[in-house]
Amino acid sequence: MKRNGFTLIELLVVIAIIAILAAILFPVFAQAREKAKQTQCLSNIKQMGLATNMYCDDNDGGFPAVYDDESDVNQDGRLDRQVWADKILPFTKSRNIFACPSMPNKVTDPNTIKQYADGGMGPNNVGMTTYHMNMCHNWHFPEGTNTTSGAPDYVYPVTQSQAENPTQTIVILEGNTTIGWFWNHWNAAHNGWANTRTDGGKLILRGVLGEEMTQRHNDGVNITYVDGHAGFKKIKALMCNFELWNFRAKPDGWAFPSPCTN
């Protein structure tokens, strides 16, 4: 007798095979999508590094301040805050590079831009960037910051020539900006500035003011360095590395405070 279709058992077998394949392939597809986002994010932060160096070229080698509260952006007599991203925006081709594709893009949201402008920032600000500037060597205008390692205070602007390890020192990296951080104080070289927590078993680095670095891409983050190159590092590799966070090399005999060991 000729059959015109599948039996119930055959259909169930096919459905089971499809379900098994889906269970195997969906995580692979998700990882591939995240890898693509990581690659785009790396491109973003590379462009920021190049834009930062162009800013330095126009300012005698000086880096933009993490934030500048003495900028009359509107030229109306009111001092507005400009963050580092605002300063390098003219050297980039798109606002979108200031938003990691794995995070909600608020840097082009008119409501968010207005909210930040109403809070004292310029009218075209990118205050809700999902990237952070390393604040441990580049304090807000016009103050300086101390490395706590016995070296003299830095005075704004910090310059490229002050970096003793330009290929190793962080300028910009990814951060958790769901609450509006655009800076990062995390630094194992500073007592009390190197806090950690876990979320779902994942390590999160938490700066002295609550700013955080999460394992946004495959247990790590993208970074751009003083010399303008960009790369990826695992979160754990950021914890106890003096040169990553400081313009000066680790002094001889200097010891990390807790939680790092030498």
Task: Tell me the residue ranges of DSSP E strands in 175-218.
Answer: 183-184, 195-199, 202-206, 212-213
Output the pLDDT for position 137: 54
Q: Is residue 3 part of a domain?
A: no
258: in domain: no
Q: Determine, yes or no, domain membership for 253.
A: no
Query: Is residue 2 one of the residues assigned to a domain?
Result: no
Q: Along the 262 residues of the chain, how does pLDDT read in single tens digits?
A: 555 666 777 778 888 888 887 777 666 666 778 788 889 999 999 999 999 999 999 999 988 888 877 666 666 666 677 888 989 999 998 899 998 888 777 888 888 888 888 777 777 888 888 898 887 654 443 344 444 444 445 566 778 888 888 898 899 998 876 556 787 777 666 666 677 888 888 888 887 777 888 777 878 889 999 999 999 998 888 877 777 887 776 667 666 665 565 4
Its sign, for the CA torsion 244, 246, 251, 254, is negative
At position 77, the amino acid (one-letter code) is: G
State the pLDDT at residue 145.
43
Strands 144-145 and 154-155: antiparallel
> For the chain, first and last CA: distance in Å?
80
Residue located via tokens 């966070």 = 245
Question: Which pLDDT score, from 0 to 100, does residue 93 have?
Answer: 80
Confidence (pLDDT) at 74: 61
Burial of 149 by CB count in 10 Å (0-12 exposed, 13-18 middle, 19+ buried)? middle
Q: Which residues of 60-96 are buried (b: 16+ CB within 10 A; e: fewer)?
A: eebbbbbbbeebebeeeeeebbbbbbbbbbebbeebe
* Beta strands 183-184 and 144-145, pairing class: unpaired
> What six digits make up the tokens of 211?
């700013």
pLDDT score for 12: 80
Q: What pLDDT is attached to residue 101?
A: 87
Residue 237 sits in which domain range?
8-245
Residue 261, domain member (yes or no): no
- Say what the pLDDT of residue 189 is: 64
Q: Identify whether 143 is part of a domain.
A: yes
Q: How far is CA 258 from the centre of its chain?
A: 24
Give the number of other Cβ atoms within 10 Å of residue 179's Cβ: 9
Q: Using the 8-state DSSP alphabet, how is residue 77 labeled?
A: S
Pairing type for strands 183-184 and 131-134 reads parallel
Residue 73: inside a domain:
yes
pTM of the predicted model as reported, rounded to 2 decimal places: 0.78
Q: Own/partner pairs for 3-9, CB < 8 Å, 24+ apart?
A: none
The answer to whether 126 touches 98, Cβ cutoff 8 Å, is yes
1, part of any domain: no
Mention every residue, 6+ apart, whose C-beta is less than 8 A from residue 115. Answer: none
Q: What domain count does the chain have?
A: 1
